[in-house]
Structure 1
Amino acid sequence: MKELQKYTIPISSLEDKSYEFDFESGDAFFEAMDQELIQSGSFKTHLVLTKSSSMIHLNFHIQGTVGLICDRSLDPFDEPIDIEEQLFLKFSDRVEELTDEIELILWETQQINIARYLFDFIVLSLPMKKLHPRFRQEENDEDEEQEGKVVYRSDAPGPDDETPEPPVDPRWEALRKLNNN
């Protein structure tokens, strides 16, 4: 938990203006977050905090790499990250998350810890399918092979797509005549 204390910013002593903070993080950050998704990593965060009388605006720029495990081969690999996010912390009488970018905090809040925000931004930037870079080329080749092929078509054929209708079985034709009477 001591590792996460360096991400604490005392906001009660800050004047209403902009401040810049830089953080460097490594494997200890991901170990302290007590999770199993990211094995290792290192990243730098540049934070611009703008405080006003009613809210705090946070602009994050996170760059680095995180260690992941390939879903296909179970080999470890480094995934580059470059994230720009913003967050608004509005002062209020209650604590609540209004949207992904807006949270309410209490008026008497003395400090904020941005470690959870950093971790959330990093996790949300990761690809759903974690593939080692050597497999990504194969995936791209398969996608290119699919280009130009119609796999599924939901629209009715147009005038250019008309195919000659197969001849109707005379038994069905006789039944249609009965139905039309």
Structure 2
Amino acid sequence: MKKSTNEFIIPFVGLKIGTHRYEFNIDKSFFEGVEDTLIEDANVLVELAFEKKETMMIAEFSISGTVATPCDRCNDPMEMSIHGDYRIVYKFGTEISEDENLIVLHPETFELDISAPIYELLVISLPARKIHPEGECNEEVMGLYNKYIVNANEPEDNDWDEDDEDWDEEDDTDEDWDDEEGEDEDDSDDDPDNDKPIDPRWSVLKNLN
């Protein structure tokens, strides 16, 4: 996250016990210096209700507005509305917190930098899939997408031989093979070119015809 300005730092040591309210206007300058940001520009109002107690502090963030972010489909900027709420509990100690909504502050801490939770709230308020409404994507990019991406995902022509389309492996049982072998054996007896010796008695009968 970028280096914060004084605008997003709350010196809570001097605050009285109770709830204190803040407002922040988020624009393009908020994202300057942020690497790999998903948001390029914004017009967002952040409302913060900061409650200070004896042993802890509770920050209730609420955002509403619009942001500019790249379209997941054509990568052109698009504007979308976002709304969201975020609650963080701050307490003092030295242990490590495994709860993302609980931040443990060193006992000597005297101020809070709220720029990071604001940015996180902006990001998690974006929808999982950010795309232009139908027909508003970059036409040139979509043309390339349809040409190279969509066609590449289409199944290739089946090289299966049409003569084998009706072949069913399950129907090709051992019994069928046995029947075919039996037929071959029977046909071999009627084959005049069979090389087996002919019984002399059959030869005599053939000559009678």
Calculate the TM-score normalised by the size of structure 2. Answer: 0.60
Structure 1 range deviating more: 110-119 or 98-107 = 98-107
**How big is the shift at 1:170?**
11
Match of 1:90 in 2: 91
Q: What is the one-letter code of the residue matched to 1:124?
A: I
Match runs of 1:1-181 below 5 Å: 4-94=5-95, 96-134=96-134
**How big is the shift at 1:36?**
3.0
Q: What is the one-letter code of the residue matched to 2:103?
A: E
Question: Which deviations, in whole Å up to 9, do the C-alpha atoms of 1:18-61 show, x marking residues without a partner?
Answer: 11111111000011434432111121111001111111100011
C-alpha contact 1:89 1:103 (8 A) present in aligned 2: yes
Work out the percentage of aligned pairs sharing the same amino acid: 27
CA distance in 1: counterparts of 2:125 and 2:29, whole angstroms: 20
**CA root-mean-square deviation:** 2.5
CA distance in 2: counterparts of 1:170 and 1:97, whole angstroms: 65
Q: What is the one-letter code of the residue matched to 1:47?
A: L
Look up the SS of the partner of 2:121 in the other structure.
helix
Q: 1:73 to 1:2 in 2, by over 3 A?
A: closer
Unaligned runs of 5+ in 2: 137-169, 176-209
Calculate the TM-score normalised by the size of structure 1. Answer: 0.69
Give the paired residue count: 142
C-alpha contact 1:3 1:28 (8 A) present in aligned 2: no
Q: 1:107 to 1:69 in 2, by over 3 A?
A: same
Q: Which is higher, the Rg of structure 1 or of structure 2?
A: 2
**How big is the shift at 1:85?**
1.2
**How big is the shift at 1:171?**
5.6
Question: Which deviations, in whole Å up to 9, do the C-alpha atoms of 1:59-102 show, x marking residues without a partner?
Answer: 011111111111212221112111111110111135x4431211
Q: What is the one-letter code of the residue matched to 1:129?
A: R
**How big is the shift at 1:132?**
1.1
C-alpha contact 2:4 2:115 (8 A) present in aligned 1: no
Q: 1:170 to 1:2 in 2, by over 3 A?
A: closer
Unaligned runs of 5+ in 1: 137-167, 174-181
Look up the SS of the partner of 1:84 in the other structure.
strand
